[in-house]
Amino acid sequence: MSTYQVGYFVGSLSSTSINRTLSKALIRLAPKDLEFTELPIGNLPLYSPDFDADYPAEPAALKEAIAASSAVLFVTPEYNRSIPGALKNAIDWASRPWGQNSFNHVPAAVIGASPGQIGTALAQQSLRGVLSFCNARQMTSPEAYVTLRPGLVTDDGEVTDESTATFLTDFMQEFRDHIERVLTVLPRD
């Protein structure tokens, strides 16, 4: 059995991010052959093509971390019916300079939590469009829009509702299977 290294993005910079809490639950419920490393986005400067010839240390480290990952998982909130600026900034850094796109052929999945009923549906739609342009190999089903009400997930990632735990476990199993399918056809170097 192979072990897959999954780099994950938490799209929120908030210290009280419910998407960070969701990421803890996803890691806890994931198949044992997935190992997770957060891909930090909080210290990245704003992207500008002016840096393409000489990447700063933080964006270079982000590109290296994605290269060391078998797959990427995006756990994102919804800001103003789209993705947070910090997450888009990270994607811009990782996909540049032109011809050095870190997401090319990388297996990817998108999930997000919100206190509202649409559970990040529009942010995920926006993110999927960006990832399509970046040529990431997205898991398109199952979709997962989580309404994270208080107490559903504990601070350490335990899911308190059995049906939600089952759904998230199934999501992570499907992601694991997606990774294997993509890497069978498009192995990462």
Summarize pLDDT for 78-128 with one digit per residue, the tens. Answer: 999 999 999 999 999 999 999 999 999 999 999 999 998 888 999 999 999
Q: How far apart are CA 17 and CA 164, in angstroms?
A: 19
Please report the pLDDT score of residue 101 as a whole number: 98
Question: Look-up: residue for tokens 């299977």?
Answer: 177
Measure Cα distances from 184 to 11, 109, 178 in Å: 29, 17, 10
Q: How far apart are CA 8 and CA 65, in angstroms?
A: 10
Find the mean pLDDT for residues 133-142. 97
User: For residue 71, what are the contacts with CB-CB under 8 A and spacing of at least 6?
Assistant: 4, 5, 6, 7, 106, 107, 108, 109, 175, 178, 179, 182, 183
With beta carbons less than 8 A apart as the criterion, state whether 124 and 145 touch.
Answer: yes
Percent of the chain exceeding pLDDT 90 equals: 96
With beta carbons less than 8 A apart as the criterion, state whether 19 and 83 touch.
Answer: no
* Secondary structure letter of residue 36 according to DSSP: E
Mean pLDDT of the chain: 96
Find the mean pLDDT for residues 181-187. 96
Q: What is the pLDDT of residues 15-48, one digit of tens each?
A: 999 999 999 999 999 999 999 999 999 999 999 9
Q: How far apart are CA 101 and CA 151, in angstroms?
A: 39
Please report the pLDDT score of residue 1 as a whole number: 64
Hey, how many other C-beta atoms are within 10 angstroms of the C-beta on 188? 15
Find the mean pLDDT for residues 166-177. 98
Find the mean pLDDT for residues 130-139. 98
